[in-house]
C-alpha cells in the first residue's frame, strides 16, 4: 500500500522565486533540475522502492513515459511517488510548451487515474506534498477545483515547514 513519507516531499515549481516564466531547459538540464527538487530533510527515503520509483519518474523524458510508469507500477507506488509524478508531468508540459499535447495529456485516462489516486490520499499528504501538487497542477494549467479544495482545509491546519534550514 501507499504510505506518506513525512519530510520526503520534493520541492516544486515556483521555489526559485522567479515569475515561473523561465526559458525552457534542455532535457539533460531538466533532469538535473528535477533531481535537485529536494526539501529540507528529504535526502533519506523510508523505503528503497519509493526512491527507485522516484528516480524512474525523474528520468522520464515525456509525459507518455510517466503515464506508462503509473500504469505498470501502480501496485507499488507510494503517495510520495504520486506527488513526484504530478511534478514531473508539470515540468515536462511546461518545458514542451505545446497546448495540443497538454490538452491530450489532461484528457488521458491514465492522468485521470493519477489525479483520482492523489485525491484519495489527500489526508495523508504533508504540507510540502500538497504545495507540490498545487504547483504541478499550476504548471499543467489544470484547475482541478475538487482536488484543490480538498487540500485547502488540511493546508490551513498544518504547520508551515521552516524553509530557513
pLDDT tens string 118-127 = 999 999 898 8
CA dihedral 7, 147, 13, 60 (to 10 degrees): 90
Judge contact between 2 and 79, C-beta under 8 A: yes
Domain residue spans of the chain:
27-157
pLDDT tens string 49-104 = 899 999 999 999 999 999 999 999 988 889 999 999 999 999 999 999 999 999 99
Name the pLDDT band for 1 (thresholds 50, 70, 90): very low
| The pTM of the whole model exceeds 0.85 | no
Amino acid at each position: 500500500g501507499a504510505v506518506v513519507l513525512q519530510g520526503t516531499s520534493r520541492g516544486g515549481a515556483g521555489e526559485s522565486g522567479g515569475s515561473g516564466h523561465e526559458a525552457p531547459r534542455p532535457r539533460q538540464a531538466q533532469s538535473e533540475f528535477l533531481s535537485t527538487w529536494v526539501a529540507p530533510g528529504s535526502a533519506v527515503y523510508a523505503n528503497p522502492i519509493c526512491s527507485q520509483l522516484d528516480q524512474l519518474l525523474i528520468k522520464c523524458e515525456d509525459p507518455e513515459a510517466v503515464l506508462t510508469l503509473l500504469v505498470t507500477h501502480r501496485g507499488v507506488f507510494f503517495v510520495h511517488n504520486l506527488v513526484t509524478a504530478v511534478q514531473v508531468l508539470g515540468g515536462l508540459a511546461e518545458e514542451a510548451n505545446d497546448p495540443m499535447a497538454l490538452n491530450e495529456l489532461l484528457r488521458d485516462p491514465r492522468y485521470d487515474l493519477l489525479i483520482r489516486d492523489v485525491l484519495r490520499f489527500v489526508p495523508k499528504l504533508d504540507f510540502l506534498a500538497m504545495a507540490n501538487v498545487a504547483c504541478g497542477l499550476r504548471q499543467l494549467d489544470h484547475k482541478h477545483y475538487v482536488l484543490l479544495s480538498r487540500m485547502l482545509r488540511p493546508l490551513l491546519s498544518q504547520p508551515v515547514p521552516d524553509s530557513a534550514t
